[in-house]
Amino acid sequence: MIEYATLRIIWWALLGFLLIAFALTDGFDLGVAALLPWVARTDVERRISINSIGPVWEGNQVWFILSGGVLFAAWPYLYAVAFSGFYFAMLLALLTLILRPVGFKYRSKIAHRRWRFTWDWILSVSGVVTALVFGVAVGNVIQGIPFYFDQDLRPYYTGSFIALFNPFALLCGLVSISMIVMHGGLYLSLKTENDLQHRALRSARWAAGIVIILFLLAGVDIVYGVKGYLLTQPMDPGSMSNPLHKQVGEQIGAWVANFMEYPLGWGAPLLGVIGALGVIILPRKLSRFAFMLSGVSIIGIISTVGLSMFPFILPSSTHPEASLLVWDASASALSLSIMLVGVIIFLPIIAIYTAWVYRILRGKITSHYIDSNKNSVY
């Protein structure tokens, strides 16, 4: 049997992998939706944009569902606190996600300008708000959220929905929006032609510049303005899961300590900046490579958060000693071992199937395709 501490690291990495996979796949279709009223100027162009993501958007959400399943099964304390603390924020995100299939299905059912215009904006808002909420959630995780456990390890969240939208969290939300717009714009440029392709690529480059600026601003804020957390005494990585058996201190800039101890960790923020910079400077004919660099940027940005906080996964701003760590918030070793067998079997199948679907659905969406299939496409 794999050691308990190693199992915890594996499941921490798996959770990060699933969140990154969700950002890479569902991120570009949220980005296309966010750009819909801005880059697509005619009804045909908007139908082309919608149908560029129409066959894949449902499958992309598999990674989000898997992430929720991992939280529930592998990190029960994290699941309990996060889903209670972020309840209304998650409800808002789910409502905006629900609007997407409704918009896709209804938008072209009636050939009326106002009807289609309304649904176009609903789809755009759903993309923006979903990305904003996820970014705000990450911003609050970095700062810590107000919760504690009683003696029976029942979690209590003491914050409010409005308090989640604080300045730093909103900055992270803007980073999230700019990331999905960059990624979505590049995807749309790969799936379209002519003026629509050029406008999508131009939007992606502008978004990439904003990603770099906002990401660096957030980094400066983390170093000089955001309170971080650190263990004030060593902890056994293989100990029983109990969030109350530790001592935690608070310090501005504490999240940078991991990068100082492990210099290779600086590769993550560098990837975040270099990937976005590549999107800006690469010529138009290399837009496929630019899309890959956009993914590299997203991987770098999300990895920066996870690496800087390790071993913390959800700090408590009001009761630091109740913060959740990789070492004290997981399920049992037996549970993690059994689930790991399932992951080894099924995760490659999901990945291979996803790659096969994208392979089959490759190619551009054109006005001729829309006209030829106007009764069957969105």
What pLDDT does residue 333 have? 93
Reduce the secondary structure of the chain to three states and give it as a string: CCCHHHHHHHHHHHHHHHHHHHHHHHHHHHHHHHHHHHHCCCHHHHHHHHHHHCCCHHHHCHHHHHHHHHHHHHCHHHHHHHHHHCHHHHHHHHHHHHHHHHHHHHCCCCCCHHHHHHHHHHHHHHHHHHHHHHHHHHHHHHHCECEEECCCCCEEECCCCHHHCCHHHHHHHHHHHHHHHHHHHHHHHHHCCHHHHHHHHHHHHHHHHHHHHHHHHHHHHHHHCCEEEEECCCCCCCCCCCCCCCCEEEEECHHHHHHHHCHHHHHHHHHHHHHHHHHHHCCHHHHHHHHHHHHHHHHHHHHHHHHHHCCEEECECCCHHHCEECCCCCCCHHHHHHHHHHHHHHHHHHHHHHHHHHHHCCCCCCHHHHHHCCCCCC
What pLDDT does residue 257 have? 87
What pLDDT does residue 78 have? 93
Indicate the average pLDDT of the chain: 91
pLDDT in tens, the chain (378 residues): 789 999 999 999 999 999 999 999 999 999 999 999 999 989 889 999 998 998 888 888 889 889 999 999 999 999 999 988 888 998 998 999 898 888 888 888 888 889 999 999 999 999 999 999 999 999 999 999 999 998 888 999 998 899 999 999 999 999 999 999 999 999 999 999 889 999 999 999 999 999 999 999 999 999 999 999 999 888 888 888 889 889 999 999 899 988 888 888 899 999 999 999 999 998 878 888 999 999 999 999 999 999 999 999 999 999 999 999 999 999 999 999 999 999 999 999 999 998 998 888 888 888 888 888 777 778
What pLDDT does residue 245 have? 87
Express each pLDDT in 237-266 by its tens digit: 888 888 988 999 999 989 998 888 888 889
What pLDDT does residue 177 have? 97
Express each pLDDT in 119-168 by its tens digit: 999 999 999 999 999 999 999 999 999 999 988 889 999 988 999 999 99
Express each pLDDT in 343-357 by its tens digit: 999 999 999 998 998
What pLDDT does residue 366 have? 85
